[in-house]
Structure 1
Amino acid sequence: MTVQDHPRKPLDRLSDALADEMEAVNALIREKMASEHAPRIPEVTAHLIEAGGKRLRPMLTLAAAKMLDYPGPWHIHLAATVEFIHTATLLHDDVVDESRQRRGRPTANLLWDNKSSVLVGDYLFARSFQLMVAPGNLRTLEILSNASATIAEGEVLQLTAAQDLATDERIYLQVVRGKTAALFSAATEVGGVIAGAPEPQVRALFDYGDALGIAFQIVDDLLDYGGASEAIGKNVGDDFRERKLTLPVIKAVAKADGAERAFWSRVIEAGDQREGDLEEALRLLSRHGAMEAARKDALAHAARARTALEALPPHPIRDMLRDLAEFVVSRVA
């Protein structure tokens, strides 16, 4: 049976298997996003956290721990930490990108203001550090604090790289490993560490999260040029309008002739976008097979994620994680 033939999506099955643990994580999140003195904090946080996100990243932490028979309780704190880090970065990202929609809803910076989004994001980062020290495990603290720094570094690198036609696939991968894959790999790795797994299994969990995160981001980049707004929670072409050099564009630029390169320079580097430019960008992506090439890269990373799982003990959750890696890329298969 293929993933597409299965009656329920892998993430839904994973959610069912982790329902009790996720309920505990959500209760802890609600407790820690409260503020006695600044009601704006729970208002802004609840708007984003309760927006119907799948909670994929904290589920990865819970899945890794449960797959290795960890009895608890500290995987709950680590999973909540991961979700707070993720939410904080979303609040900051929407300000930086001047976004107006997130998960199909108005962004916090649009409903309130940029100052509120930045400061509440800072509060959530602070809360995440309070949570990550609770288990008293120095290694999980090191992993999650390093991931937080890597995410910030990746976002800063993207500021300079995203609108520079000199950005190549190596730099793109560095950005993606920072802004997306770092939290995926940290989420899975800390689940293994808190469970006391042997080092080869911890490394396998890191590799799975890293590969899954990269595949996830490439698919997101592809859907921006070919997905339905309802499916991706943002408007098609947002990356183009925000002048982001994502993988399909990087591949098209690498094969561009002089006139095509001048087009990309105008719309991406100079930001001079006119009516019909998105359609022209799509035509160039198609002409050079950029979408298909990026899709193959996503499939390769998903395959790497599935291979990493072979080092882990047989478990129903391991099967769900394997199916999840396949499902992530099935959206562009």
Structure 2
Amino acid sequence: MEEKIYKKEDLFTGPFQIENDNEYLPILKFILKELRHSENLMGYSDDFKNQIADYIGKVIELIEEYYQGKLENALSIAKELIVPFGLSHEFAVTTPLKSVEIGTNGASKCNEFFRSRVCDEITNYTGEEMNHVPFSKREIMCTQRFSISGLPSLYVGNTSYCCWLEMGKPEAHKFNVSPLKLPRDSRILNLVFPFQMFSELKQKYCNKSKSDENELILIKLMILNIATSFRVTQTNRTFKSEYVIPKCLMLACLDRGLDGIAYYSKRVENELYAAPAINITMFPKKDGKDDKTTLEKNVKIGNSFNYAIYKEIKNIDKSTVEMEDNQNLKDCKVFIDSAGTDIFYSALGFYDFDRYLLQSFKSKD
């Protein structure tokens, strides 16, 4: 399938919205070809550039093999793609206590996250009900970006705003959110690396020993970020091409012993404003001792709280509710309004909702 020209003001800034499923591969080819010849990669050695070209070639090959029904080959390539990151690379593999960030635009440096459920009526869910779909009910688990049908996953967001986006921006009375803590030793593949932030991220992560090696790893993560950041508007699809690489990466991470994948929400308009919209999908695992998974045992989840109820509470002095010091999202840009004004996360009601949920959760420890 030949590449197809993709016109966008900021070519490398996701998410990349396209109309039809069959445009995914040719447009991905075009963007990655342009990346190889971008200003950011000028000045590198031919050997360095060849390694980038080889990596891009593997990404494209994975999709083409999958399209031909060679699923084993596609998964094998996915495993190759994550080999450079190991199990504990300083920024490619993060933990809930490390920084998962977008450039210098803010970071979530904690093991406290949020999970939501939508219901037509105001509902109070228990923490157990807010966990992942149990393996005994795998038949209700559908395919999502980083998970496959029949294999439960635990999707969490770093803010209630992120959860709201992922649930399709539901009305307040339908939106129920729980705070939760992930296991501190979780090893998570970090794909939150926009190519447009290359200079800033290079300065932050690649000024130490192994600089060339880290620069190569940084660009590889950015390539995977691009390949997994497409949004297709075509409706009535039973197959989604933009999910091929994410699903294969999920299976490869699971096979390698990683616990999850971090990525920015593809429901934002611009990934550079996605610091308060970072998702982590965690992989439930059985330890063989009983029916419960490691996440059912080790993830602490609070009972849900309804957003409409929260907004109706009049006697909360929100100024006294301390935001956890591991959340640095107050001054992160969320979007630019029609007048060209920067809107910061602290201006949204979700910011105080986060604070309330975390404080309530903390008080019950």
Larger helix share, 1 or 2? 1
Larger RCO, structures 1/2 (Cα 8 Å, 6+ apart): 2
TM-score range, shorter chain: under 0.3
**TM-score where L is the length of structure 1:** 0.26
> TM-score, structure 2 length as denominator?
0.25
